[in-house]
Amino acid sequence: MIHKLTVPISDEAIRALRVGDQVEISGVIFTARDAAHKYMVEQFIKTGGNPPESERALYELLKEKLNGGVIYHCGPVVVREDGKWRFVAAGPTTSIREEVYQDLVIEHFNVKAVIGKGGMGPRTLAACQKFAAVYLHAVGGAGTLIAERVVEVEDVHKLKEFGVPEAFWQIRVEGFPAVVTMDSHGNSIHAQVAAQSEARLKALVAA
């Protein structure tokens, strides 16, 4: 069974998911990597939702669109054609770098799903459990195929400041495929694999 999720995603839909479930996401989502996460925490969250006036428009947009929304850890390859942006490749980037920020962003913006690769740590897992969110694993190395699910680039924010890979790309996706690897019930495939690998290593060393 594939769970079809439409943004904004409800808490009920998130609580119904378990690790191992397949999902397809449709709607408007945002890419955000290191620079974008650091920016959200420093400009928006640490200011208590009172950013500088020059940043207020983007803050209000993110507060609206990320409420029940999705963040994708992705540094896309893009082209400009006939005045419009198009994604050429949109593979996931390694997520653990955002561990120091992700729980804060999930809470403040009411993010319901984070997409990336490699999994995240205990802070993010705790936030998923407390605020009804999930971590979704996208297929690494399939950037061109994933880009086909990006039906429209609606806008891009902080392009000049952050550059193409780190900018906030506001995209509309249809049937974006991913697998739940951290759910809202405290389960993490990544933590399980790490624990099993450590136990196996100890057994091999002791043998």
What distance in Å separates the CA atoms of residue 188 and residue 20, rounded to the nearest whole number? 10
pLDDT in the model for residue 191: 61
Q: What is the pTM of this model?
A: 0.92
Nearest to 165 by CA among 71, 78, 40: 78
**pLDDT at residue 199 in the model:** 47
Beta-carbon count within 10 A of 164 CB: 13
Q: How many domains does the chain have?
A: 1
> Which amino acid type is present at position 137?
H
Report the CATH number that the domain containing residue 174 is assigned in CATH.
3.20.130.10
Domain that residue 15 falls in: 2-206
Per the rule left: phi > 0, alpha: psi between -120 and 50, beta: everything else, 31 is beta
Residue 125: its pLDDT value, please?
98
Amino acid symbol at 163: G
Distances (CA, A) of 204 to 70, 191, 192, 194: 41, 20, 18, 15
- pLDDT score recorded for residue 201: 42
The answer to whether 37 is a known catalytic residue is yes
> Could you list the pLDDT tens digit for every one of the 207 residues in the chain?
899 999 999 999 999 999 999 999 999 999 999 999 999 999 999 999 999 999 999 999 999 999 999 999 999 999 999 999 999 999 999 999 999 999 999 999 999 999 999 999 999 999 999 999 999 999 877 788 899 999 999 999 999 999 999 999 999 999 999 999 999 999 999 765 544 444 454 555 565
C-alpha separations of 143 from 137, 138, 169, 175 in Å: 13, 10, 15, 15
Of residues 37, 73, 137, 157, which has the active-site annotation? Answer: 37
Query: Which residue from 76, 2, 91, 89 is spatially nearest to 36, judged by alpha carbons?
Result: 76
Pick the closest to residue 13 from 139, 112, 119 (CA basis): 112
- pLDDT for the residue 139: 82
